[in-house]
């Protein structure tokens, strides 16, 4: 089970709702809002940057071309590998856009990011946002995305072969003795060593601060005075970091499924552990009402006990899956967690659990594979590699040794009796990272930024609701929009109230009233 701070948007169908409202325009020309205007550089992990030396990047002209998906264009954007050495090595970042369809006055570009870290923004744009966002939003904005450095098409971080990754995902992450603890620590070390061996050049330069700086160059190349942006999950941290670095260039920002940048890694991991427990309890309460619930039909408490008993059983004796990989506790837990991101996956989880409890782990393994983005040929996307690389650079490790995990286990198990032990041990991964963290936990205020909408879901598994409450309080111009519901993130998940409110903000610039709640 490798779920450490993997904050990702579930792939759900977008329900369009809202009003078509006239647009607005103001501010400086794109050329005036370039490398030197409005950059505070105040984010921890940011460094003194020679703005004049960045001018060549801000002034670059992108060569747009078709990219195999009707209606979309792709290009390659250059950025410095190291922002402290802008005249040094360059990297190439993949970008994509789909021009506004009209009618109505064009409002500029709307950048999107689905989270992760490690999620491909271009993939999200081309398969979902660029065709599934509300028609009135796509009519007025050029939909755009940049794969962050280290991710997918942008100098991707690589760490393990497919077979090595298969082995890694099966290591027992609830060690019962010293030998199992040593084996788990060794797997984290091997993972980190693989990343250093295969991606040593890019590894020190995939921080969220650097990705936010890349987004500002992209904004300039698109000809926009200010950045308009919808970020989900980890994408909220990326968007908030952008606002912190470039408050005067911040346009209409929607931060959906928000992270709390003020928390250290251990607290983030523990809070997320509690979030998955909250989501599981919601699933369990629903499950026991269904005739096909494999966890019983009596109570959520009984369902939780049966879930824990199942995990213990497959830890002791993994079940067959119809292939060489058997379903042990780590993969089984990952499969269950994968279904927590969206309540529409609950029926599939009931069926998968029933199969696994009957000796066939294929369906639950399939859920785990979808979480890891494992292909049928045994290869993996770089999601998990980029995820670790960014997380371990953004914050010092939650734990630095197995002894520290063992000491703090009770607090994680209190946060989640079902998932606590495994998620505590998963938090050890950054202890062995080859590159020292450059970021640190801190409040983000982004003073001087335009109104920013922060969206929180009350029973969100991956980004607990209290994180959205905290971020909205931190941001000097933040407004909290609450969705009372299940699943990860809120925009486009079926609430007309949420969608109409966000659409109105994106099209008109009017944020919701303070304390607005939707269901």
Q: DSSP letters of 228-241?
A: EEEEETHHHHHHHH
For residues 111 and 142, is the Cβ–Cβ distance under 8 A?
A: no
Q: What is the pLDDT of residue 121?
A: 98
Q: Is 460 a catalytic residue?
A: yes
For residues 129 and 142, is the Cβ–Cβ distance under 8 A?
A: no
Residue 351 has pLDDT above 50, yes or no: yes
**How far is 515 from 519, CA to CA, in rounded Å?**
13
Out of 460, 477, 495, 499, which one is annotated catalytic?
460
Q: Collect all residues with Cβ–Cβ distance below 8 Å to 124 and sequence separation of at least 6.
A: 9, 112, 113, 114, 145
Helix (H, G, I), strand (E, B) or coil at 411: helix
Q: Beta-carbon neighbour count of residue 127 at 10 Å?
A: 13
Q: What is the pLDDT of residue 359?
A: 97
**How far is 20 from 137, CA to CA, in rounded Å?**
8
Q: What is the pLDDT of residue 155?
A: 98
**How far is 50 from 64, CA to CA, in rounded Å?**
28
Q: How much helix, strand and coil, in percent to the nearest 5, is found in the chain?
A: 45, 15, 40
**Residue 189 vs residues 173, 184, 293: alpha-carbon distances, Å:** 14, 9, 39
Q: Beta-carbon neighbour count of residue 58 at 10 Å?
A: 18
Q: Beta-carbon neighbour count of residue 402 at 10 Å?
A: 18
Q: Collect all residues with Cβ–Cβ distance below 8 Å to 247 and sequence separation of at least 6.
A: 38, 40, 446, 447, 448, 449
pLDDT classification of 13: cutoffs 50, 70, 90 = very low
**Residue 109 vs residues 230, 254, 374, 446: alpha-carbon distances, Å:** 11, 14, 32, 21
Q: Is 369 a catalytic residue?
A: no
Residue 5 has pLDDT above 80, yes or no: no
**How far is 262 from 444, CA to CA, in rounded Å?**
8
Q: What is the pLDDT of residue 29?
A: 39
Rg over alpha carbons for the chain, rounded to the nearest Å, is 22
- Higher-confidence residue of 69 and 14: namely 69
DSSP state of 159: -
pLDDT, the chain, mean: 92
Helix (H, G, I), strand (E, B) or coil at 115: strand
Residue 80 has pLDDT above 70, yes or no: yes
Q: Are strands 73-80 and 90-98 parallel, antiparallel or unpaired?
A: antiparallel
Q: What is the pLDDT of residue 340?
A: 96
What average pLDDT does range 380-386 have in this prediction? 97
Residue 39 has pLDDT above 90, yes or no: no
Q: Which range among 3-12, 75-84, 154-163 shows the weakest confidence by mean pLDDT?
A: 3-12
**How far is 226 from 450, CA to CA, in rounded Å?**
10
Q: Collect all residues with Cβ–Cβ distance below 8 Å to 2 and sequence separation of at least 6.
A: 168, 169, 173, 330, 334, 372, 384, 426, 429
Q: What is the largest CA-CA distance in the chain?
A: 67
**Distance between terminal CA atoms of the chain?**
32
**How far is 380 from 102, CA to CA, in rounded Å?**
38
Domains, the chain: 19-157+227-262+443-518 (3.40.50), 162-201+265-372+398-432 (no CATH)
**Residue 201 vs residues 57, 160, 206, 295, 434: alpha-carbon distances, Å:** 20, 16, 10, 48, 12
% residues pLDDT > 90 (the chain):
89
**How far is 238 from 151, CA to CA, in rounded Å?**
14
% residues pLDDT > 70 (the chain):
91
**How far is 404 from 19, CA to CA, in rounded Å?**
53
490-503 residue pLDDT tens: 999 999 999 999 99
What is the reported pTM? 0.92
Out of 2, 46, 216, 488, which one is annotated catalytic?
488
Count Cα atoms within 13 angstroms, Cβ side, for 128: 19
What average pLDDT does range 408-435 have in this prediction? 97
pLDDT classification of 164: cutoffs 50, 70, 90 = very high
What average pLDDT does range 143-152 have in this prediction? 98
Q: Residue 113 is inside which H or E element, if any?
A: strand 108-113
Residue 37 has pLDDT above 50, yes or no: no
For residues 21 and 46, is the Cβ–Cβ distance under 8 A?
A: no
Q: What is the pLDDT of residue 132?
A: 94
Residue 365 has pLDDT above 80, yes or no: yes
Q: Is 442 a catalytic residue?
A: no
Q: Collect all residues with Cβ–Cβ distance below 8 Å to 146 and sequence separation of at least 6.
A: 77, 93, 94, 95, 111, 121, 122, 154, 214, 215, 218
User: Closest Cα partner for 260 from 461, 456, 493, 487?
Assistant: 456
For residues 463 and 67, is the Cβ–Cβ distance under 8 A?
A: no
Q: Which range among 9-23, 112-126, 200-214 shows the weakest confidence by mean pLDDT?
A: 9-23
Residue 169 has pLDDT above 90, yes or no: yes
Q: Residue 227 is inside which H or E element, if any?
A: strand 227-232
Residue 133 has pLDDT above 80, yes or no: yes
Q: Is the peptide bond before 492 cis (omega within 30 degrees of 0)?
A: no
- What values do phi and psi take at 425, rounded to 5? -70, -30
40-67 residue pLDDT tens: 555 665 667 878 889 999 999 999 999 9
289-325 residue pLDDT tens: 999 999 999 999 999 999 999 999 999 999 999 999 9
């Amino acid at each position: 089970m490798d779920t450490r701070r993997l904050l990702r948007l579930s792939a759900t169908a977008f329900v369009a709702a809202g009003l078509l409202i006239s647009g607005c325009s103001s501010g400086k020309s794109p050329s005036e809002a370039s490398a030197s205007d409005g950059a505070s550089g105040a984010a921890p992990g940011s460094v003194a940057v020679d703005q004049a030396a960045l001018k060549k990047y801000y002034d670059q002209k992108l060569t747009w071309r078709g990219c195999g998906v009707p209606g979309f264009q792709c290009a390659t954007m250059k950025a410095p590998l190291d922002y402290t050495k802008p005249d040094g090595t360059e990297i190439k970042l993949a970008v994509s856009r789909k021009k506004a369809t009209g009618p109505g006055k064009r409002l500029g570009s709307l950048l999107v990011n689905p989270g992760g870290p490690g999620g491909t923004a271009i993939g999200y744009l081309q398969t979902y946002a660029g065709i599934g966002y509300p028609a009135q939003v796509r009519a007025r904005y050029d939909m755009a995305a940049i794969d962050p450095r280290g991710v997918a098409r942008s100098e991707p971080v690589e760490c393990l072969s497919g077979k090595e990754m298969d082995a890694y995902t099966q290591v027992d992450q609830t060690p019962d003795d010293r030998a199992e603890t040593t084996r788990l620590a060794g797997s984290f070390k091997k993972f980190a060593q693989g990343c250093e061996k295969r991606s040593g050049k890019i590894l020190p330069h995939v921080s969220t601060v650097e990705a936010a700086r890349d987004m500002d160059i992209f904004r300039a190349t698109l000809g926009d005075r200010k950045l308009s942006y919808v970020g989900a999950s980890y994408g909220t941290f990326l968007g908030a970091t952008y606002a912190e670095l470039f408050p005067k260039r911040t346009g209409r920002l929607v931060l959906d499924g928000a992270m709390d940048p003020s928390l250290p890694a251990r607290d983030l991991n523990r809070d997320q552990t509690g979030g998955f427990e909250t989501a599981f309890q919601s699933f369990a309460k629903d499950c026991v009402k269904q005739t096909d619930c494999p966890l019983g039909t009596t109570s959520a408490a009984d369902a939780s006990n049966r879930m824990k008993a199942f995990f213990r059983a497959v830890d002791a004796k993994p079940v067959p899956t119809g292939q060489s990989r058997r379903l042990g506790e780590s993969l089984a837990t990952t499969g269950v967690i994968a279904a927590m991101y969206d309540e529409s996956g609950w029926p599939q989880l009931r069926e998968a659990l029933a199969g696994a409890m009957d000796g066939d782990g294929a369906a639950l393994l399939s859920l785990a594979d979808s979480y890891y983005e494992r292909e049928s040929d045994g290869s993996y996307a770089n999601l998990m590699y980029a995820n670790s690389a960014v997380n371990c650079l953004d914050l010092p490790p939650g734990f630095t040794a197995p002894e520290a995990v063992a000491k703090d286990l009770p607090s994680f198990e209190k946060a989640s009796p079902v998932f606590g032990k495994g998620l505590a041990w998963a938090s050890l991964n950054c202890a062995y990272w080859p590159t020292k963290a450059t970021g640190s936990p801190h409040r983000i205020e982004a003073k001087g930024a335009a109104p920013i909408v922060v969206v929180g879901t009350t029973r969100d598994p991956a980004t607990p609701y209290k994180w959205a409450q905290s971020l909205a309080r931190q941001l000097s111009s933040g407004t909290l929009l609450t969705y009372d519901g299940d699943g990860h993130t809120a925009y486009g998940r079926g609430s007309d109230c949420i969608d109409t409110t966000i659409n109105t903000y994106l099209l008109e610039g009017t944020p919701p009233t303070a304390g607005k709640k939707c269901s």
